[in-house]
Structure 1
Amino acid sequence: MPRQLLLDDLPDLARGAALLGAGGGGDPYIGLLLVTAELERGATITLLDPDEVADDALVVASAFMGAPTVVIEKIPGGDEPVMALRKLELHLGRTADAIIPMECGGLNSMIPLLVAARTGLPIVDGDGMGRAFPELQMETFGVYGVAGSPIAICNERGHVAIIETGHDNASMEWYARAVTVRMGGVAYIAEYPMTGTQVKQTAIHGTLSLALELGRVIRTAHEQHRNPFTALVECLAGTIYRFGHSLLEGKVTDVERQSADGFVRGTARIATFDGLRTVELTFQNEHLMARSGDRLLAVAPDLITVLDAETAFPITTEALRYGQRVRVFVIGTPEIMRTPEALEVFGPRAFGLDEEWTPVEQLVALT
């Protein structure tokens, strides 16, 4: 049954989305402020289960694109993602019946909510990544046959580009990335126009509800004086993700990052407080790999995230700083993201990593 997303839900959803963002997807705080302002003005957001979407409905994915650090410098006004949607509708000659998040992680959980609040369109409780990934073709929509284009790309000046590459979603990403760089490093997009039937078949179901649940679990654990990390592990065990585990607790000893080609790339090192063990994280907007010396601890598409050691609040890659006391926390991925077709698109090799994917629960069992 369709349900309303309430104002009080937003902080929990943002917190859970930051967790599912695997360090990327952008800090949801800016988006949280924008969506909160819309609901305080009387807007409503209706959440639909994928099975509640009409088979012939037109559903469009909404998101921001670019380097998360740039969003901090170029705070959106809120019109940009709506304009991208409207330009895509004009190009298609049809209005959308619903929107869906491109990804459920970070700021890109909030941008579709903003569009829903401003347009009155319902938002589908699901997404195409189950986390955050750095490239547009890395979506289950595309893995299972949906064309990402035509895509509309809009910046804060109202400049818009439409790109059509058919079912060649990797080329769509390549062209769209170049446009985004020319637009100043961040833009807002409407993409993957699809039917309700395709949503049911290709989306990862229930991820907005999951983000809300995970954020609530962290908050209530503090209120009840429970260990939030234990609470997260228990919560994840009953979801399609099934597995959560704390790899290491310690402090950040080094962070190297640079923005180039529309991405933030770098490494972070976290050492135990006694200095006897170190984990190195490799990221491209999102954390992609965790290693301890020669030992692989986790690798995409499994989720690797850094949480504050006391609060369990997620810390994005752009917010990592020397001296922070943190936990490295890993989460397994749903079955829809573990198929050979999916791993070809967003497994380790897709990021240039010389690793074969091994489920994180198996890697943890070996440590």
Structure 2
Amino acid sequence: MGDELTLQGLHDLAEGAAVLGTGGGGDPYIGRLLVERELAEGRRVRIIGADELPDDALVLPSSMMGAPTVFVEKLPSGGGNVAAFRALEEHLGRRAYAVMPTECGGLNSMIPLMLGAQLDLPVVDADGMGRAFPELQMQTFGVLGVSGSPMAIASDHGDTCIIDAGDNKRMEQMARALTIQMGGASYISDYPMDTAEVRRTSVHGTLSLCRDIGRTLREARAAHTDPFDALTAMLADTIYSLGVVLFRGKVVDVERRTVDGFARGKALLQAVEDPDDVLEITFQNEHLVARRNGRVIAIVPDLICTLATDTGAPVPTESLAYGQRLTVYAISTPPIMRTPDALACFGPAGFGLTDPYTPLEDLLPVS
């Protein structure tokens, strides 16, 4: 049962996850190496669809929490995820049938793959974000009525804790405080669900989508064709439907700082052909809004991705640097992410932005 992940599939999935990470979610390169180590030691990663789960299954999502910049300076050991997962199983008094991602973007696409290999458990091909978001309550799971608590949190030093919060926002606040005390990075297992809840509340097929994105970019590079055209054509047949180049230019300024466990800041790009044509991206771990000459041209929860102009390779927020030639590429988010309840949770207002949500397709210039 399930689709066993190959080494090439892992590489493709990691690159696709970096694209859907929208600048955040942590660099999946580090997580990919951890999964590679598991495969090299003879373990396997099995990916299954939500429809393959037994009706009575318990599924526990797994991820890391913290500012992406911390993971660059402090490499994860790979042991805390098992500790958090087992602590939640013990608290619930029940063994889980499968693990799944909370988010498919960035490093957190890799953590459940590593855990699945470590514990020989299948990984569900779905997640609760369809991208990456910086806060735990920003999940389709919670929007559609699943409680994130009880959750387990663990450090790299053997500390574990169970959080049973009154609501998902409070869970985020408590877990964030603990994560800061754990050195800015922690492992968590939250949103325990049964099969029916997984099928009803998750964004389906996102690990497969990551793998398809990575494969599309790799094959375009090998064929010396435009990676952005190839990506746009591939996305047209998915639940994301629309991918479009918004801007091409060079980075002329980056403001980035780690505050309250988040990487916050702005990046300014200047068009090569016209120095008066500028694009500003605001981010909180992930890119939130893109403004071209002061006008909003893409906004959360639609995806704003920074990709290398020559190769299409994703460039995360922690790697943004002066002089880089980047293409800003936007992807429309799936319908499950655009409901009024979803937008109230992880739309612009959820990040303190005063700009209203306008779908990507409505912001594009009329041709």
Same fold (TM over 0.5): yes
How do residues 32-51 of structure 1 correspond to structure 2 at under 5 angstroms? Answer: 32-51=32-51
Q: Does residue 1:25 correspond to 2:56, yes or no?
A: no
Equivalent residue for 1:213?
212
Cα-to-partner distance string for 1:289-311 (whole Å, 9 max, x where unaligned): 00013311100000001000101
Distance 1:284 1:55 in 2: 38
Determine helix, strand or coil for the equivalent of 1:152.
strand
Task: Note the C-alpha offset of 1:276.
Answer: 3.0
| TM-score (norm. length: structure 1) | 0.98
Task: Note the C-alpha offset of 1:262.
Answer: 0.6
Equivalent residue for 1:271?
270
Amino acid at match of 1:21: G
Equivalent residue for 1:314?
314
More off after superposition, 51-60 vs 304-313? 51-60
Distance 1:219 1:179 in 2: 39
| TM-score (norm. length: structure 2) | 0.98
Equivalent residue for 2:259?
260
- Structure 1 residue runs of 4+, over 6 Å off? none
Cα-to-partner distance string for 1:179-216 (whole Å, 9 max, x where unaligned): 00111111010000000100000000000000000000
Equivalent residue for 1:239?
238
Equivalent residue for 2:247?
248
Equivalent residue for 1:300?
300
Equivalent residue for 2:142?
142
Task: Note the C-alpha offset of 1:224.
Answer: 1.2
Amino acid at match of 1:224: A
Amino acid at match of 1:135: E
Give the superposed CA RMSD: 0.9
CA contact (8 A) 1:150 1:164 kept: yes
Determine helix, strand or coil for the equivalent of 1:201.
helix
Distance 1:276 1:262 in 2: 35
Equivalent residue for 2:188?
189
Amino acid at match of 1:174: Q
CA contact (8 A) 1:103 1:130 kept: yes
Distance 1:366 1:92 in 2: 54
Distance 1:240 1:45 in 2: 25
Equivalent residue for 1:121?
121
Distance 1:81 1:220 in 2: 33
CA contact (8 A) 1:285 1:317 kept: yes
Equivalent residue for 2:16?
16
Determine helix, strand or coil for the equivalent of 1:141.
helix
Determine helix, strand or coil for the equivalent of 1:314.
coil
CA contact (8 A) 1:54 1:196 kept: yes
Determine helix, strand or coil for the equivalent of 1:64.
strand
How do residues 287-366 of structure 1 correspond to structure 2 at under 5 angstroms? Answer: 287-366=287-366
Distance 1:54 1:252 in 2: 49
Equivalent residue for 2:104?
104
Cα-to-partner distance string for 1:267-291 (whole Å, 9 max, x where unaligned): 0011101313110000000000000
Distance 1:222 1:67 in 2: 31
Distance 2:305 2:47 in 1: 27
Distance 1:341 1:365 in 2: 28
Structure 2: any 5+ residue segments left out of the alignment?
A: none
CA contact (8 A) 1:54 1:197 kept: no
Task: Note the C-alpha offset of 1:366.
Answer: 4.9
Determine helix, strand or coil for the equivalent of 1:8.
helix
Give % identity. Answer: 55
Amino acid at match of 1:268: A
Equivalent residue for 2:282?
282
Determine helix, strand or coil for the equivalent of 1:157.
coil
Distance 1:231 1:348 in 2: 29
Distance 2:365 2:59 in 1: 41
Distance 1:299 1:229 in 2: 20
Cα-to-partner distance string for 1:251-272 (whole Å, 9 max, x where unaligned): 0000001001110000001110
CA contact (8 A) 1:25 1:133 kept: yes
Name the count of aligned residue pairs.
366
Determine helix, strand or coil for the equivalent of 2:7.
coil
Cα-to-partner distance string for 1:101-128 (whole Å, 9 max, x where unaligned): 0100000000010000100010000100
Distance 1:213 1:136 in 2: 26
How do residues 146-225 of structure 1 correspond to structure 2 at under 5 angstroms? Answer: 146-166=146-166, 168-225=167-224
Equivalent residue for 2:62?
62
Distance 1:226 1:292 in 2: 27
Determine helix, strand or coil for the equivalent of 1:192.
coil
Distance 1:36 1:23 in 2: 23
Distance 1:298 1:54 in 2: 40
CA contact (8 A) 1:63 1:108 kept: yes
